Each structure stands twice: as structure tokens, then as C-alpha cells.
Copies of this chain bind each other. A is one copy, B any other.
Amino acid sequence: MKLNDDEMHLWHAWKRASDVVRSRIAQDLADAVGLSDPDFSVLSRVSDAGGVLRQNELAASMDWHRSRLSHQLTRMEERGLVQRRTVPGGVQVLITASGRASLDAALPVHAAAVRKHLTNLVPHRRLRALAAELERIAQPNGT
């Protein structure tokens, strides 16, 4: 019913590390290229899919709810980063030239930020083990 010292310690460390790493990487990205974390995620996925992706598949691949993606795409479309096109059975999301330019600028910044704020702070020989440990934590459908 109450957490013991070790559990509490891990919880606090977890919370702090999650927040700190996310905000540091987001800050570097925003400062350098004016993209938010969600902006970058969307552009990356669409680009990886070849520049076009059905909205429904995009949402599923990112584990996002429909409405979340809908709001996000509305904002990104207003900024000219992506374009929506209605097709039979749904909506296609296309990356624009401007969106691709932003992504290209963001990629090295993002990689550098992940290195600086996460992977470089973990000993090389621990990289795989920590990743595996995190996957075990994220795995269960604990609901």
C-alpha cells in the first residue's frame, strides 16, 4: 500500500529523468529548427513511409488517438509542413517541400541532442541492456 525506499527512489529518479531528457531534447530541436517533438515525429514517420501515408496508419504507427493526430495535422498544415488529401477510404498525409526541408535540418540536430542528453550518458556496454530493460517496462498491457 506504500512504496518502500527503493521503489520510491526509483520512482523519483524515473520521473525526473523522463522529464529532463524529454525537455532538453525538445528544447534543442525547437531552438535550432522550430519544430516541436510531435512535429518531428510526424515528419519522420511520413518521410520514412516515402513521403505519403494514410492518416489512419500514421496514427496507428505512432500509437496516437485519431483526434490527437487530427489536431496536430491541422496545425502542421497551417504552417505548410504537410498536406492532406482525401482518398477513397480515408485521408492521405503528404510531406511538403517545406516539411522535408525542416526535417532535413532537424535530423542532425535531433541525433546530436539524443546523444548529448541520453546515449552519451550511458556507458557503451550498458546501451543494449538498458534498452532491453526499458522494453520490458513498456511491454505489458497493464490495464
Contacts and interface: CB of A to CB of B under 8 A. Distances in A.
A1 B19 CA distance: 24
A124 B10 CA distance: 11
List the 7 shortest-distance A-B pairs measured between CB atoms, nearest first. A13-B134, A17-B134, A17-B138, A18-B18, A13-B131, A6-B127, A10-B131
Contacts of A11: 114, 118-119
A3 B130 contact: no
Interface stretch (A20-28, A83-91, A94-102): A20-28
A6 B16 CA distance: 23
Contact of A116 (B117, B118, B142): B142
A105 interface: no
B122 A133 contact: yes
A121 B134 CA distance: 9
Contact of A127 (B10, B19, B117, B137): B10
A71 interface: no
A8 to B, nearest CB: 8
B14 A118 contact: yes
A22 to B, nearest CB: 7
Given A3-B119, A6-B127, A22 B17 contact: no
A80 interface: no
